[in-house]
């Protein structure tokens, strides 16, 4: 089996020394360094082609909710609080679960594409639709009973009532998520990302326009905001379906098939593992906010940590772009039985994302007295946020590496393992340490954040260790077994395997 990846720097140095003893070491070393640079640049371009659009798609879709909140904020304080709670608690939960379940396609479609099993991509997407739509149906009671649920959590009666009304009206968005994410992963696994990004950007622009018409001009209120969100998400879905049926996927999409209902048991298992893995990461930040809210006089601490987390979320989207890119690259190369190429891609992606994280760290540390002013003019909040700047900068560095390694896990199909690691590092270590530092040792918000940082550090160290010790040849054989298990043929085919 041929493997055309570049030798590591250690191999190059060793080879150079050997050749040097023969009298021609320096020219050979320069030649190999040139090849390494060329291959690194080529790999970076492949990653960037996926990561750039993935970053923009995440920002556009994330901003749909922000636009809704911005327009609803002009309706009144109660409306703003109701939509904020419904969006962050109810919709955020559903969004995370369905996105996580759809992420199983990053493993399966990516490996099938790498192996040249193009006809299975459409089948996998249909299986994912079956699972995510059923999951959405199971989650829908949460939307229906939002009001009594919030009242049971001792939320304001007026806010709970209004959030419940809003949640019922946005149920169509729940099923839009279920339909949307498998289509995105189907396209992403084939590096067809530009059109998806354009559709998301156009959807965001349309969403802002419709909110302006229905809320600012026609004054349809909270129901209008919900209906506009439904329209936006289903227009995005309709545009993606048109792209799917346009003939751009002649091999990957051959129409609906009864194969979509085969091997659902093992498919559900991987989908659930993907959902748990993602949700455990998303809920970690929510749990930290809850801990901060339990401090004495929590208003100042919550304001400061909210500013830091908002900034962290925006920078995290860049790392998530590399997460998407490396999951595609690893799954494609493993499916094509090119394990060394997968390993090389991991190195390039990790170093690239880490470099960006270091830049963010430097910017935050050097502007810690300035960046809080973007979010607030309150002197005490600015001062408290500046105290957290050093911890924020370290978190940014860790979160530039951790999503990439999680992407490697998705590409290789390690979701179950990573879910267990997340439970241990985040919930059995990070949160207890944060609670201990914050409450027992009276370090307050800095202690809670330090615990979160410790959990992230432990997780990153474990993921780095696993990645370094991975037998990539074995992972390529496992990818081949995945394809056989879920309906593909045993051997790589077509261009992807060449």
**What gap in Å lies between CA 457 and CA 358, rounded to an integer?**
15
Lowest mean pLDDT of 155-164, 195-204, 296-305, 452-461, name the range. Answer: 296-305
Note the pLDDT tens digit of each residue in 305-351.
878 887 887 778 888 888 999 999 999 999 999 999 999 999 999 99
Share of the chain above pLDDT 70, in %: 92
Per-residue confidence (pLDDT) for residue 320, from 0 to 100: 81
At residue 248, the 3 state secondary structure works out as coil
Determine whether 202 is exposed, middle or buried from the number of CB atoms within 10 Å of its CB (0-12, 13-18, 19+).
middle
At residue 211, the 3 state secondary structure works out as helix
More confident residue, 41 or 259: 41
| Confidence at 300, pLDDT banded by 50, 70, 90 | confident
Chain centroid, CA 368 distance in Å: 27
Query: Where are the chain's structural domains?
Result: 43-262, 272-498
Note the pLDDT tens digit of each residue in 104-132.
888 889 999 998 889 889 999 999 999 99
At residue 129, the 3 state secondary structure works out as helix
Per-residue confidence (pLDDT) for residue 20, from 0 to 100: 45
Average pLDDT, whole number, for the chain?
Answer: 86
Tokens of 384: 């408290």
Mean pLDDT (whole number) for 372-381: 85
Mean pLDDT (whole number) for 445-462: 94
Cβ atoms of 199 and 177 within 8 Å: the answer is no
* CA-to-CA dists, residue 189 to 309, 402, 414, angstroms: 30, 21, 17
End-to-end C-alpha distance for the chain, whole angstroms:
10
Note the pLDDT tens digit of each residue in 37-66.
889 999 999 999 999 998 899 889 888 988
More confident residue, 351 or 497: 351
**Half-sphere exposure (Cβ direction) of 227: Cα atoms closer than 13 Å:** 11
**What gap in Å lies between CA 115 and CA 123, rounded to an integer?**
15
Chain centroid, CA 48 distance in Å: 16
CA dihedral (159, 165, 166, 172) in degrees, to 10, reads 160
Question: Closest Cα to residue 409, out of 342, 351, 455, 321?
Answer: 342
**What gap in Å lies between CA 371 and CA 328, rounded to an integer?**
35
Answer yes or no: is pLDDT of 9 > 80.
no
Lowest mean pLDDT of 58-67, 149-158, 207-216, 430-439, name the range. Answer: 149-158
CB contact burial 28-63 (16+ within 10 A = b; e otherwise): bbeebeeebeebbeebbebbeebbbbbbbbbbbbeb
| Confidence at 488, pLDDT banded by 50, 70, 90 | low
Tokens of 192: 């067809």
Lowest mean pLDDT of 19-33, 205-219, 460-474, name the range. Answer: 19-33
Q: Find tokens 């993921």 and name the residue.
A: 463
Share of the chain above pLDDT 90, in %: 53
**Half-sphere exposure (Cβ direction) of 241: Cα atoms closer than 13 Å:** 13
Per-residue confidence (pLDDT) for residue 472, from 0 to 100: 94
Per-residue confidence (pLDDT) for residue 273, from 0 to 100: 87
Residue 461: count other Cβ atoms within 10 Å of its Cβ.
Answer: 12
Mean pLDDT (whole number) for 402-430: 92
Answer yes or no: is pLDDT of 16 > 50.
no
Answer yes or no: is pLDDT of 19 > 80.
no
Q: What are phi and psi of 84, to 5 degrees?
A: -60, -45
Question: Closest Cα to residue 352, out of 48, 58, 8, 106?
Answer: 48
- In this prediction the pTM is 0.82
Per-residue confidence (pLDDT) for residue 82, from 0 to 100: 85
Lowest mean pLDDT of 44-58, 173-187, 271-285, 324-338, name the range. Answer: 271-285
Mean pLDDT (whole number) for 147-158: 84
Mean pLDDT (whole number) for 433-452: 94
Q: Could you tell me where the DSSP H helices lie in 413-443?
A: 415-422, 431-435
Answer yes or no: is pLDDT of 260 > 90.
no
Residue 10: its H or E element: helix 9-21
Lowest mean pLDDT of 264-278, 409-423, 449-463, name the range. Answer: 264-278
Residue 446: count other Cβ atoms within 10 Å of its Cβ.
Answer: 19
Per-residue confidence (pLDDT) for residue 487, from 0 to 100: 60
Question: What is residue 191's DSSP assignment?
Answer: T
* CA-to-CA dists, residue 205 to 36, 170, 212, angstroms: 42, 19, 11
Per-residue confidence (pLDDT) for residue 486, from 0 to 100: 64
Length of the chain: 498
| Confidence at 497, pLDDT banded by 50, 70, 90 | very low
Answer yes or no: is pLDDT of 1 > 70.
no
Per-residue confidence (pLDDT) for residue 456, from 0 to 100: 94
Per-residue confidence (pLDDT) for residue 35, from 0 to 100: 86
């Amino acid at each position: 089996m041929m493997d055309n990846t570049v030798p590591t720097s250690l191999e190059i140095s060793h080879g150079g020394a050997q050749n040097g003893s023969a009298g021609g070491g320096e020219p050979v070393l320069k030649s190999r360094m040139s090849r390494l640079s060329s291959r690194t640049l080529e790999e970076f371009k492949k990653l960037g082609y996926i990561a750039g659009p993935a970053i923009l798609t995440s920002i556009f879709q994330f901003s749909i909710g922000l636009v809704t909140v911005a327009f609803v904020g002009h309706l009144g304080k109660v409306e703003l609080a109701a939509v904020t709670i419904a969006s962050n608690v109810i919709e955020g939960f559903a969004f995370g679960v369905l996105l996580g379940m759809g992420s199983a396609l990053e493993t399966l479609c990516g490996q099938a594409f790498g192996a040249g099993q193009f006809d299975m991509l459409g089948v996998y997407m249909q299986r994912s639709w079956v699972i995510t739509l059923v999951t959405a149906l199971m989650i829908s009671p949460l939307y229906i009973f939002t009001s009594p649920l919030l009242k049971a959590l001792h939320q304001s009666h007026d806010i709970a009532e209004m959030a419940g009304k809003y949640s019922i009206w946005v149920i169509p968005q729940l099923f839009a998520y279920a339909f949307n994410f498998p289509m995105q992963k189907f396209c992403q696994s084939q590096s067809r990302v530009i059109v998806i990004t354009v559709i998301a950007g156009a959807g965001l622009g349309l969403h802002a326009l419709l909110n302006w018409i229905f809320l600012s001009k026609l004054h349809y209120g909270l129901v209008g905001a919900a209906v506009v969100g439904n329209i936006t998400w289903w227009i995005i879905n309709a545009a993606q379906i048109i792209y799917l049926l346009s003939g751009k996927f002649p091999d990957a999409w051959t129409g609906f098939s009864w194969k979509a209902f085969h091997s659902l048991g093992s498919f559900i298992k991987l989908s659930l593992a993907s959902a748990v893995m993602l949700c455990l990461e998303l809920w970690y930040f929510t749990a930290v906010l809850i801990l901060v809210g339990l401090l004495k006089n929590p208003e100042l601490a919550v304001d400061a940590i909210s500013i830091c987390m908002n900034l962290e979320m925006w920078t995290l989207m860049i790392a998530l772009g590399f997460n998407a890119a490396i999951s595609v690259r690893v799954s494609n190369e493993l499916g094509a039985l090119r394990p060394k190429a997968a390993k090389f891609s991991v190195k390039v992606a990790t170093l690239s994302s880490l470099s960006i994280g270091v830049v963010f760290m430097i910017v935050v540390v050097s502007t810690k007295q300035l960046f809080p002013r973007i979010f607030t003019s309150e002197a005490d909040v600015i001062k408290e946020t500046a105290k957290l700047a050093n911890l924020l900068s370290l978190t940014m560095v860790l979160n530039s590496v951790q999503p990439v390694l999680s992407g490697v896990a998705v590409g290789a199909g390690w979701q179950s393992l990573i879910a267990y690691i997340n439970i241990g590092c985040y919930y059995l270590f990070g949160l207890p340490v944060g609670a201990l530092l914050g409450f027992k040792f009276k370090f307050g918000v800095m202690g809670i954040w330090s615990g979160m940082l410790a959990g992230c550090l432990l997780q990153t160290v474990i993921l780095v260790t696993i990645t370094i010790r991975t037998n990539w040849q074995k992972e390529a054989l496992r990818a081949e077994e995945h394809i056989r298990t879920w309906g593909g043929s045993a051997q790589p085919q077509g261009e992807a395997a060449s």
